[in-house]
């Protein structure tokens, strides 16, 4: 059970009164509390109501006084330990809260929800502890901390240093954590004495570096081996090179535990006195010994209330991690802004939403020196010295065709090549060949099951198939014949007619079902075969048909490079390739055409799913208008009302359909 379930019964709504403007102004905070079953109100509470205060803030005294006078329960609210990309000062809402009916985690004078759970829960459930181990590994692998506006690729200092962690003066975890400014002087002295000759790095707090609040250390504390370290790098990278860690009560001290250290702790933070730290001032009532996985299970899985900002509902820790990973991928890649070339005008609005959340994206004919450069992969490159970041539609795209100007919910970016071009390596190939990240297999397996259950494909249109001829059915998906994947990946068979002829020659006694490409059916792209000619090789032509239903009705798929071959693999159907699509050459398909010799890895289907649908694309939620994980996009695509086409594009698309025979004028 999570934190809120311990305070109130599932589904029960209880009134929660507040007396400071923060609860009134911050709609995201109210949304989380509301989703957790709290009805926030102003006024005087009655018997059975609760009073909310923010931690131990100066304004908490108002609520404390009301709760004490009226004999009501007091709820203290604080941010969870994975909060957001930027600190709260940036007005960025949190992903989770600690809603605490006992105390507050940084106040050692009284037990908190975390301490209560750490003392009372069995913490011996195998599944819970595996979730905990996976969660710790995911945080470390993805460089996720409480706040995350640092560059994970910034170079850490040379390893072999002693890390002393500074904090801001007057921080509540110092005031209420059995500590004082004096302990910081003592801590530095102990670190210098215990580590003679070692380099000592004093990690400055980010808010001190930004000029918001002073810390406890300055240049006067430095000498020939003691240095202030102010660089905004990943805490995990910083902890990797440390030989010892000293802290008073910083959350970085807890992350040191998760990174494998046993830090020397001078205050009384929530993570002290469980057997995982060297305690200068132990909390005597904490007599239980915990493992890292057990304490993490309490601090990150059981105690917090996690919130999904896209679905607007309470969620698990893992779902919150999926979201922060999507947020971080967007911020880390896009924070410097872009120049974009080769982007059709109708895509500009969506590209701004997709890539311009953190810095502007400017559309130009040519790149600008020193600016990250996006280029639509199918368009010719302008003359330039820089290397572009190629952009292309993802594999769970939309409910409707790109040729009909329906914007995509997923895009891929690639600095190496592009997935459909087998003549050069791509980032997708590297992801397929690389080991799965922590938790990746379980996540990809769940995603695969969800995708199968939803019946989704790339474009998600078409009718159920009619009754098909009996026998062993082979589905042959037609393609757009000027598609780049055919031009670059088909050495011998490169037309729909040749594909049909080859399939019939190799399978004379089987039932062949030909499905024309929807863009070709609409007259928007080349590749049409007259029906009388197609029926010389095919037994049936299935037009305007749901591809997933058609795959289910057939026994195998023969293709050049169509994405339907990948969709067939997802559903366990044997797939034969006459070209070299991204999913060929890995041992999962029957390949009748040469594939790149560099594809030597042998991933299983779940591994391929992780690379193709989780790690490679980026996703955008049309409802919340923010980056999101693929699991959410599957839900949006299943909901026909979630993706609505921008109305001017509907008009242009209609006019385009009526002038389909003049596609050369706009393509």
pLDDT tens-digit map of 618-667: 999 999 999 999 999 999 998 866 555 444 534 444 444 444 444 444 44
The pLDDT, as a whole number, for residue 4 is 45
The pLDDT, as a whole number, for residue 648 is 53
Question: Would the pLDDT of 497 be above 90?
Answer: yes
pLDDT interval class at 384 (50, 70, 90): confident
Determine which helix (DSSP H) or strand (DSSP E) holds 534, and give its type and residue range: helix 531-534
The pLDDT, as a whole number, for residue 88 is 81
Q: Which of 43-52, 155-164, 362-371, 642-651 has the lowest mean pLDDT?
A: 642-651
The mean pLDDT value for 219-230 works out to 96
CA angle (388 as vertex; 382, 389 as ends), nearest 5 = 140
Residue whose structure tokens are 């750490």: 118
In this structure, the chain runs to a length of 667
CA distance 557 to 564: 8
- 482 or 313: which leads in pLDDT: 313
The pLDDT, as a whole number, for residue 89 is 77
The mean pLDDT value for 3-15 works out to 61
Report pTM. Answer: 0.91
| Average predicted confidence (pLDDT) for the chain | 92
pLDDT tens-digit map of 472-492: 999 999 999 988 999 999 988
Contact 439, 134 (CB under 8 A): yes
The pLDDT, as a whole number, for residue 617 is 98
Residue whose structure tokens are 């923060």: 22
The pLDDT, as a whole number, for residue 13 is 83
Encode 9-75 in three state secondary structure.
CCCCCEEEEECCHHHHHCHHHHHHHHHCCEEEECCCCCCCCEEEEECCCCCHHHHHHHHHHHCCEEE
Contact 396, 633 (CB under 8 A): yes
The pLDDT, as a whole number, for residue 145 is 97
The pLDDT, as a whole number, for residue 458 is 76
Enumerate residues 6+ apart whose C-beta is below 8 A from 310.
Answer: 323, 621, 623, 624, 626, 628, 632
- 110 or 463: which leads in pLDDT: 110
Question: Would the pLDDT of 3 be above 80?
Answer: no
Sheet holding 305-308, edge to edge: 38-41, 14-18, 50-54, 73-79, 96-100, 305-308, 313-315
How would DSSP label each residue in 71-99?
A: T-EEEEEEE-SS-BSS-GGGTPPPSEEEE
The percent of residues above 70 in pLDDT, for the chain, comes to 93
Q: Which of 198-202, 223-227, 541-545 has the lowest mean pLDDT?
A: 541-545
Question: What is the β-pairing status of strands 556-559 and 473-477?
Answer: parallel
Q: Which of 643, 645, 636, 644 is nearest to 454 (CA)?
A: 636
Contact 117, 290 (CB under 8 A): no
CA distance 381 to 115: 59
CA distance 26 to 40: 12
The pLDDT, as a whole number, for residue 524 is 75
The mean pLDDT value for 329-340 works out to 97
Question: Would the pLDDT of 522 be above 80?
Answer: no
Q: Which of 307-316, 512-521, 555-564 has the lowest mean pLDDT?
A: 512-521
Backbone angles phi, psi at 585, to 5 degrees: 90, 0
The pLDDT, as a whole number, for residue 460 is 66
The pLDDT, as a whole number, for residue 642 is 56
The mean pLDDT value for 361-366 works out to 94
> What would the two tokens of residue 530 be?
């007259």
pLDDT tens-digit map of 73-119: 999 999 999 999 998 877 899 999 999 999 999 999 999 999 999 99
Question: Would the pLDDT of 9 be above 80?
Answer: no
Q: Which of 10-14, 102-106, 183-187, 291-295 has the lowest mean pLDDT?
A: 10-14
The pLDDT, as a whole number, for residue 398 is 75
Question: What is the β-pairing status of strands 161-165 and 96-100?
Answer: unpaired
The pLDDT, as a whole number, for residue 585 is 98
The percent of residues above 90 in pLDDT, for the chain, comes to 82
CA distance 70 to 542: 72
pLDDT tens-digit map of 404-458: 457 889 999 999 999 999 999 999 999 999 999 999 999 999 999 999 999 887 7
pLDDT tens-digit map of 577-601: 999 999 999 999 999 999 999 999 9
């Amino acid at each position: 059970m999570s934190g809120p379930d311990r305070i109130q019964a599932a589904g029960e709504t209880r009134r929660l009164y507040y007396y400071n403007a923060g609860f009134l102004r911050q709609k995201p905070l109210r949304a989380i509390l509301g989703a957790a079953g709290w009805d926030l109100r102003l006024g005087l509470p009655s018997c059975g109501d609760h009073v909310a205060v923010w931690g131990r803030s100066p304004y908490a005294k108002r609520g404390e006084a009301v709760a004490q006078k009226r004999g009501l329960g007091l709820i203290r609210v604080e941010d969870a330990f994975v909060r957001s990309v930027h600190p709260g000062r940036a007005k960025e809402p949190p992903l989770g809260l600690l809603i605490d009916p006992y105390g507050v985690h940084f106040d050692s004078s009284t037990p908190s929800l975390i301490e209560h759970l750490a003392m009372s829960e069995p913490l011996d459930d195998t599944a819970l502890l595996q979730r905990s181990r996976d969660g710790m590994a995911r945080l470390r692998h993805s460089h996720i901390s409480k706040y995350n506006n640092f560059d994970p690729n910034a170079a850490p200092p040379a390893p072999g240093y002693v890390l002393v962690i500074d904090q801001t003066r007057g921080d509540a975890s110092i005031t209420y954590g059995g500590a004082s400014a004096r302990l910081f002087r003592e801590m530095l002295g102990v670190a210098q004495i215990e580590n003679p000759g070692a380099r000592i790095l004093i990690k400055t707090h980010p808010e001190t570096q930004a000029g918001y609040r002073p810390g406890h250390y300055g240049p006067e504390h430095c000498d020939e081996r003691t240095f202030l370290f102010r660089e905004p790098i990943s805490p995990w990278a910083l902890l990797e090179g440390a030989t010892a860690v000293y802290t008073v009560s910083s959350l970085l001290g807890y992350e040191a535990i998760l990174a494998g250290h046993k830090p020397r702790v001078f205050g009384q933070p929530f993570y002290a006195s469980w057997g995982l730290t060297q305690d200068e001032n132990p909390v005597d009532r904490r007599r239980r010994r915990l493992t890292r996985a057990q304490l993490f299970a309490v601090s990150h899985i059981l105690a917090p209330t996690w919130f999904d900002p896209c679905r607007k509902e309470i969620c698990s820790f893992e779902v919150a991690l999926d979201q922060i990973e999507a947020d971080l991928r967007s911020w880390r890649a896009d924070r410097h802004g872009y120049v974009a070339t080769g982007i059709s005008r109708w895509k500009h609005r969506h590209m701004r939403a997709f890539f311009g959340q953190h810095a502007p994206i400017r559309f130009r004919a040519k790149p600008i020196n020193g600016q990250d450069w996006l280029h639509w992969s199918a368009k010719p490159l302008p003359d330039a010295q820089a290397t572009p970041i190629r952009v292309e539609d993802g594999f769970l795209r939309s409910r409707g065709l790109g040729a009909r100007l329906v914007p995509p919910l997923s895009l891929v970016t690639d600095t190496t090549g592009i997935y459909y071009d087998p003549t050069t390596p791509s980032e997708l190939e590297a992801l397929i060949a690389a080991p799965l990240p922590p938790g990746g297999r379980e996540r990809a397996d769940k995603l695969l099951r969800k995708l199968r259950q939803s019946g989704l494909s790339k474009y998600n249109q078409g009718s159920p198939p009619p009754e098909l001829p009996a026998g062993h059915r082979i589905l042959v998906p037609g393609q757009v014949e000027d598609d780049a994947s055919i031009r670059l990946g088909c050495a011998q068979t490169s037309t729909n007619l040749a594909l049909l002829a080859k399939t019939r020659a190799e399978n004379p006694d089987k039932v062949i079902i030909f499905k024309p490409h929807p863009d070709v059916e609409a007259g928007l792209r080349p590749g049409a075969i007259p029906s009388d000619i197609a029926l010389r090789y095919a037994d049936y032509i299935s037009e305007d048909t749901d591809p997933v239903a058609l795959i289910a009705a057939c026994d195998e798929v023969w293709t050049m490079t169509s994405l339907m071959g990948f969709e067939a693999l997802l559903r366990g159907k044997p797939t034969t390739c006459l070209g070299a699509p991204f999913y060929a050459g890995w041992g999962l398909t029957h390949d009748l055409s040469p594939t790149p010799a560099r594809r030597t890895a042998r991933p299983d289907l779940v591994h391929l799913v992780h690379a193709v649908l989780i790690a490679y694309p980026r996703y955008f939620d049309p409802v919340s208008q923010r980056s999101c994980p693929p699991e959410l996009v599957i839900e949006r695509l299943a909901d026909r009302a979630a993706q609505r086409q921008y109305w001017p594009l509907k008009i242009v698309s209609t006019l385009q359909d009526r002038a389909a025979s003049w596609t050369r004028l706009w393509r």
